[in-house]
A and B are shown apart, each in its own frame.
Chain A
Amino acid sequence: MKEHASTQAGTAVHKPFFLWRHLNKLRWVVLSLVFSMLVLLPMLHLYQTYVAAHAYDLLAPSEKRLYDAMELLTSPFVSDPEKQLDAVKGTTWSGTLFGLKLSDPLAVVGQMAAGLTIYWPFLVTALIPIGFTVVFGRFFCGWICPATFLYELNSNIAGWLHWAGFRIGGRRFDKRIKYGVLALGVVVSAATGSIAFAAIYPPAIIGREIYYAVALSGFGAGAAFFAGTLLFDLLVARRGFCRYLCPGGALYSLLGRYRLVRIRRIVESCNDCAKCNVVCEFGLDPLRDGFGQECNNCTACIAVCPTDAMTFVLRPTDVPPQGPGHLGRQYRRAMEKAAGEAAGRERDRGARAAGDGESTSRPEREEAA
């Protein structure tokens, strides 16, 4: 692949395709679209129920406003809202998109566990998401999940607090906890015969809570649970629920372990600034090539990199750690030292001198201070 362009001589450093650093903006557009659809769809449903009732005059003023707004919004596209607006329904947990039924793989896992049977028509609805996850890894977390939209805003607040001097949200736990949650959820679903994931899985919660709040009014326990995860992320661990607890994230991490599309650091143009590590919502280590199965290809690290040192590659595993970036200080020191040593050796060999104690062997850690 092009990415493996050899740059020993420092001539042809690979540059990522220029659009990739704009993918992060596209991602925000997608996230906002998904979220606003979740708000819009219940409103459209209300509109449909008003249309079906054929009683505009009996509507309350606020209902009339909604009716008018939705009519304005949809009338260019649909002539029969009662039927045609059924084309897009549902949430990211399960929904229908112009006749195409899509479901969350976690819903399928939960249903199989709860019923201890496989219902094929339902399994089929998850095949497209599963296929995408196998190729793109945990892309759902970065690109679709309506919780991400709120969690990243939450992370911004945490960032401001951090900037203002509140050292909170810095705890780290074991990433494997979420696999335990996934397994526990399967066991609990099988034991109780009802799908346990729906109660603790943020995207499912958000979808139905928004529907409830808009169409039927009122929040349920799920909203409180989600608010709790927001607080947990803010106060205990940045993006902690997703990193340590979310069963969906665990499932996608497993499915996407050998994803084909992944992010890679171009060590030749990296200058060790560590912005990628700071921006990574999932607390990964792009700077040291530590992506792993948790990376959700969100491309935030591509967008933030000042030297265009992050790119996409097509390969089923991460590259092994490549060491410090070639534009960074450590690498330069190392090279200088190596050059010095080589020169020293040359000199030594030339002079055939016995005095080898003077060669540089002290550790160079003073920049850490």
Chain B
Amino acid sequence: MATAGERAKGRGAGGNGGQQSPSAHRPPRSGVGDEVGHAGHPLYRRGLLKSGISALVLFLAAGMPYAIARFLAPAASRPAPRHNAKVSPRPRNRMRPPGALADDAAFIAACIGCGLCGEVCPPRAIVFHAREGGGAVNTPYIDPEARACTLCGKCMPVCPTEALTVVPREKIDMGLAQIDRTACYPWVDRGICGACVSVCPLGERAIGFKQWNQYKPLVRKGCVGCGLCVEVCPHPSKPIWIVDRSEGSVAKHSI
């Protein structure tokens, strides 16, 4: 039933097969052309729309109990914030971008995976989680061994959602650097290094040398976990890494 019209435009990809040649019009019955064919197209009858909407409502209703339960549940039964978690809440050297919500479940819910934070990051430190699938699909993280955050602060204002909120540089909490004193070159007296201390954008507040014993680095309270020290560490086994603040420890004494 392919008419000249269909042949004329070679793009009829079959999707519009034989149903659409003009001869499918009903022959005019009463002989008055203007009154012909008020039946409407079958795909657009109201009934179908109605059942479409009821299917939608049904789907939503099916999910409602769970949603309500999730919403009303006491905080304890919701996914635990990572600060309270007993098991390690995240592998080392996996940080959310600066300004991220502390509760990782909330962060995942808030982040729409737009990639804007990655797209403004000057060192291209922000990469995306589990692009192969999984719960945290397309959410951003930083792997400081590959590329660390420079605390430039560009990603926070660009995030359209509350996943990243603007916080001052010193209040950023991506984690805490931890040093393995059994491997770090100065700590095992294998030379002078100080790369981590010299690269830290926050200076003495965050990382400094042990008193009287130059070049042995110590992490202090002011560390925000940007990971630059991890990136710069020349030791092949990277004896410095970032952990969650709840899991790390810092040098107590002053500089």
Contact = CB atoms under 8 A, between A and B. Distances in A.
A, B bound: yes
Interface of A: 41-42, 45, 48-49, 52, 82, 86, 89-91, 93-96, 101, 103, 107, 110-111, 113-116, 119, 121-122, 125, 155-156, 158-163, 167-172, 175-176, 179-180, 182-184, 186-187, 190-195, 198-199, 204, 207-208, 211-212, 215-216, 220-222, 237-239, 272-275, 277-280, 283, 285, 287-290, 292, 304, 320-326, 328-331, 333-335, 337-338, 341-342, 363-365, 367-368
A338 B28 contact: yes
Query: Which 3 pairs from chain A and chain B are nearest by CB?
Result: A220-B131, A338-B31, A187-B63
Nearest to A52: B122
Given A86-B154, A89-B120, A238 B25 contact: no
B135 A194 contact: yes
B55 A94 contact: no
A156 B11 contact: yes
Nearest to A331: B33
Interface residues of B, number: 83
A237 B28 contact: no
A212 B131 contact: yes
B5 A91 contact: no
Contacts of B31: 334-335, 337-338, 341-342
Given A114-B109, A175-B43, A321-B39, A272 B15 contact: no
Interface of B: 1, 3-6, 8-17, 20-23, 25, 27-28, 30-41, 43-44, 48, 51-53, 55-56, 59-60, 62-63, 66-67, 70-71, 79, 105-106, 108-116, 118-120, 122-124, 127-128, 131-133, 135-139, 154, 158, 160-162
A208 B136 CA distance: 15
**Could you tell me the dominant secondary structure of chain A's interface residues?**
helix
A119 B14 contact: no
B9 A238 contact: no
B108 A194 contact: yes
Contacts of A110: 112
Nearest to A156: B11
B60 A330 contact: no
Nearest to B14: A170
Contacts of B28: 323-324, 330-331, 333-334, 337-338
A304 B41 contact: no
A176 B48 contact: yes
Contacts of B120: 45, 86, 89
Given A94-B114, A119-B110, A237 B37 contact: no
A179 B27 contact: no
A274 B3 contact: yes
Contact of A322 (B37, B63, B110, B127): B37
Nearest to A234: B13
22 contacts: A42-B119, A93-B113, A94-B116, A95-B114, A116-B67, A158-B13, A159-B11, A170-B13, A179-B52, A183-B60, A190-B67, A193-B70, A193-B108, A194-B108, A204-B113, A216-B127, A220-B132, A277-B16, A279-B9, A288-B25, A331-B28, A334-B33
B23 A367 contact: yes
B63 A287 contact: no
A368 B79 contact: no
B131 to A, nearest CB: 3
B71 A323 contact: no
A152 to B, nearest CB: 10
A287 to B, nearest CB: 7
Contacts of B51: 176
Contacts of A289: 41
Nearest to A181: B59
Given A93-B114, A115-B110, A278 B5 contact: yes
B5 A274 contact: yes
A324 B25 contact: yes
Nearest to A286: B20
Contacts of A175: 43
B118 A285 contact: no
B248 to A, nearest CB: 27
Contacts of B154: 86
B17 A170 contact: yes
A115 B21 contact: no
A252 to B, nearest CB: 15
